[in-house]
């Protein structure tokens, strides 16, 4: 059974989680965490400091030893808010690659929210309607979920490290600084209300270290007041009870008046969290009150769990998360197509043909299995560029796909899909093309072969939404036959279009292509 590793390079800390697939489910083998404050210098100057880079690299090297010890088969490394903002992020990415061999991927705030949601949905009892809050070092993701499906999500620049660096340089915080910070929080929350209007929400789940610390501090305060018999099980072990909004506000107000040593002594907070807890507590109090929420329940699950679940879904078709993941990913592709005016009646036959050709010509193209999904997405999105301009629309298509938010696709995967859709006109893929620049060199040949398959599928569909042709492919050692069954209006135009692709087909696959009537 394969073993996966997920590394989350956050603005406040780096986290590692290693899990093994057992009976089509994930079983955690190892976890690690290191506070590196990668975002502190970014939010102050726009640059990651050499010291923060070095501290993060030390943590990653320790993680690498654990990855090697557990014989990990697949690893994914993602960076979040700090790297989204850092002007020297590319330099740090190159340093990580040089020191560890890992490709660090910077994900958007929306993708971060979607992965966190994916991770939390693996927890029992998370069905129905609920609001998810993940407050990290650089950003705060708010997601409305119904029946384990995302309804809306938004990423706000309200991370605890970011706000501390911008507003809370005096300890304890001055009333003026707190007021300025609360005005910013209120402004960002007004933006969130325009995007997410949950109404009555029976459950609110919060993740991240700030939520864990607040949940434990609230439990300790309740125990001290005598309203509960004892302090509940540690939030960091996933056993925290419900943290009511009035108590969260009370804890936030109390923390804002404390000095650093006093905050360090509060149950559940500790030395490093104490440095940023004032800002994080204020965000939680303001958010819960603005949405008129009763409180929150802490969950130890989060971004790393979503990454692991996505890796499981991609590799194990029998896993429970596979079908849900594929459905959500395809819905994201369709939503993007419709956003840019694609007529799905015209796009669907092309998708059907390219998937059929992928399967029928498998012995010829030998593409990885994931390219079936890439080709289907490229088939549906190939005309999105016409939304910008019909002239040169293939170039616009490439830009739109590579820049769009599509759930379940990494940046490299989106770039591959965009490159496949790019070369449907007169141009052909060249190694130095802009469309291929951010695609690993070993994938260039795969992209070229996928382009040929999509060109054939497009050739089979010349405005035939209501008269889709049937085709059968036969592969021989030196030639390939595509036998086309004529529709109500014949198939002459499609045969002519297929024969136009014969030269390029021969160039890529070293075989002759013959298009004939069945």
Q: Which pLDDT tens digit goes with each residue over 444-462?
A: 999 999 999 999 999 999 8
- Which tops the pLDDT comparison, 240 or 64? 64
In the chain, the percentage of residues whose pLDDT exceeds 90 is 70
Fold match between domain 3-107 and domain 317-517: no
- Which tops the pLDDT comparison, 488 or 192? 192
pLDDT of 235 reads: 40
What does the alpha-carbon distance between residue 501 and residue 479 come to, in Å, rounded to a whole number? 14
Domain 317-517 annotated CATH 3.30.565.10: no
Question: What is the mean pLDDT of the segment spanning 488-504?
Answer: 91
- State the DSSP H helix or E strand holding residue 398, giving kind and residue range, or none if neither: helix 393-403
- Which tops the pLDDT comparison, 149 or 62? 62
What does the alpha-carbon distance between residue 102 and residue 96 come to, in Å, rounded to a whole number? 7
Q: What is the DSSP letter of 101?
A: -
pLDDT of 1 reads: 82
Cis-peptide into 214, omega within 30 deg:
no
In 3D, which of 287, 148, 152 has the Cα closest to residue 210?
287
Question: Hey, which bits of 63-128 come out as E strands?
Answer: 74-79, 104-106
Main-chain dihedrals φ then ψ at residue 29, nearest 5 degrees: -105, -35
Domain ranges (residues) in the chain: 3-107, 123-300, 317-517
Bridge-based pairing state of the strands 129-135 and 140-146: antiparallel
Contact criterion met (CB below 8 Å) for 19 and 28: yes
What does the alpha-carbon distance between residue 247 and residue 211 come to, in Å, rounded to a whole number? 13
- Distances 391 to 383, 385, 397 between C-alpha atoms, Å: 12, 9, 11
pLDDT digits (tens, 9 = 90+) for 203-245: 899 999 999 999 999 988 888 776 554 334 434 433 456 899 9
Non-local CB neighbours of 493 within 8 Å, separated by 6+ positions = 462
Query: Which runs of consecutive H residues, i.e. helices, occur in 303-361?
Result: 303-315, 320-339, 344-360
pLDDT of 295 reads: 94
Averaged confidence pLDDT in the chain: 90
pLDDT of 229 reads: 42
CATH topology of domain 123-300: Nucleotidyltransferase; domain 5 (3.30.420)
pLDDT tier for residue 314 given thresholds of 50, 70 and 90: confident
CATH topology of domain 3-107: Nucleotidyltransferase; domain 5 (3.30.420)
pLDDT of 491 reads: 86
- State the DSSP H helix or E strand holding residue 500, giving kind and residue range, or none if neither: helix 492-500
Main-chain dihedrals φ then ψ at residue 215, nearest 5 degrees: -60, -40
Non-local CB neighbours of 183 within 8 Å, separated by 6+ positions = none
pLDDT of 488 reads: 80
What does the alpha-carbon distance between residue 158 and residue 473 come to, in Å, rounded to a whole number? 55
Question: What is the mean pLDDT of the segment spanning 184-194?
Answer: 96
| Helix, strand, or coil (residue 405) | coil
Crossing angle (nearest 10°) for helices 411-422 and 444-459? 50
- Distances 5 to 265, 268, 369, 460 between C-alpha atoms, Å: 34, 27, 21, 42
Judged against a pLDDT cut of 50, whether residue 343 lies above it is answered with: yes
What does the alpha-carbon distance between residue 497 and residue 458 come to, in Å, rounded to a whole number? 9
pLDDT of 392 reads: 86
- State the DSSP H helix or E strand holding residue 381, giving kind and residue range, or none if neither: helix 370-381
Bridge-based pairing state of the strands 479-485 and 512-517: parallel
pLDDT tier for residue 5 given thresholds of 50, 70 and 90: very high
What does the alpha-carbon distance between residue 363 and residue 358 come to, in Å, rounded to a whole number? 9
């Amino acid at each position: 059974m394969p073993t996966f590793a997920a590394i989350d390079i956050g603005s406040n800390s780096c986290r590692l989680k290693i899990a093994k697939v057992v009976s089509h489910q994930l079983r955690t083998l190892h976890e690690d965490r290191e506070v590196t404050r990668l975002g502190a210098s970014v939010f102050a100057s726009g640059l990651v400091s050499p010291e923060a880079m070095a501290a993060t690299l030390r943590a990653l090297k320790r993680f690498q030893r654990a990855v090697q010890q557990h014989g990990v088969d697949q690893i994914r490394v993602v960076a979040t808010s700090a790297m989204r903002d850092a002007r020297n992020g590319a330099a740090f990415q190159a340093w990580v690659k040089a020191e560890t061999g890992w490709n660090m991927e910077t994900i958007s705030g929306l993708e971060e929210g979607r992965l966190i949601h994916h991770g939390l949905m693996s927890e029992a009892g998370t069905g129905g309607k609920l609001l998810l809050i993940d407050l990290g070092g650089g950003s705060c993701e708010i997601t409305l979920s119904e029946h384990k499906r995302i309804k809306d999500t938004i990423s706000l620049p309200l991370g605890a490290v970011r706000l501390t660096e911008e507003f809370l340089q005096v300890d304890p915080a001055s009333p003026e600084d707190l007021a300025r910070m609360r005005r910013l929080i209120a402004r960002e929350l007004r933006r969130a209300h325009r995007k997410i209007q949950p109404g009555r929400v029976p459950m609110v789940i919060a993740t991240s270290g700030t939520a864990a610390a607040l949940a434990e501090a609230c439990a300790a305060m309740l125990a001290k007041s005598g309203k509960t018999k004892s302090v509940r099980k540690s939030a960091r072990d996933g056993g925290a009870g419900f943290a009511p909004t009035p108590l969260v506000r009370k804890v936030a107000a109390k923390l804002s008046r404390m000095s650093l040593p006093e905050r360090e002594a509060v149950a559940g907070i500790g030395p490093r969290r104490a440095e940023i807890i004032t800002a994080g507590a204020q965000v939680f109090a303001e958010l819960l009150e603005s949405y008129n929420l009763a409180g929150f329940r802490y969950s130890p699950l989060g971004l790393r769990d979503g990454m692991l679940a996505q890796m499981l879904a991609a590799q194990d078709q029998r896993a429970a998360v596979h079908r849900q993941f594929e459905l959500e990913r395809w819905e994201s592709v369709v939503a993007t197509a419709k956003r840019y005016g694609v007529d799905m009646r015209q796009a669907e036959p092309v998708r059907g043909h390219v998937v059929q050709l992928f399967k029928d010509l498998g012995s010829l193209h030998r593409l990885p299995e994931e390219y079936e999904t890439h080709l289907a997405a490229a088939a549906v999105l190939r005309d999105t560029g016409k939304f910008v301009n019909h002239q040169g629309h293939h170039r616009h298509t490439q830009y739109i796909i590579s820049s769009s938010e599509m759930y379940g696709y990494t940046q490299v995967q989106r770039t591959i899909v965009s490159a496949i859709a790019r070369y449907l006109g007169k141009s052909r893929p060249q190694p130095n093309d802009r469309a291929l620049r951010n695609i690993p060199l070993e994938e260039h040949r795969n992209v070229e072969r996928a382009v040929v398959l999509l060109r054939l599928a497009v050739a089979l569909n010349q405005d035939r939404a209501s008269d889709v042709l049937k085709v059968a492919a036969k592969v021989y050692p030196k030639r390939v036959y595509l036998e086309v069954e004529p529709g109500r209006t014949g198939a002459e135009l499609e045969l002519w279009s297929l024969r136009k692709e014969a030269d390029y087909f021969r160039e890529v696959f070293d075989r002759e292509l013959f298009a004939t009537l069945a």
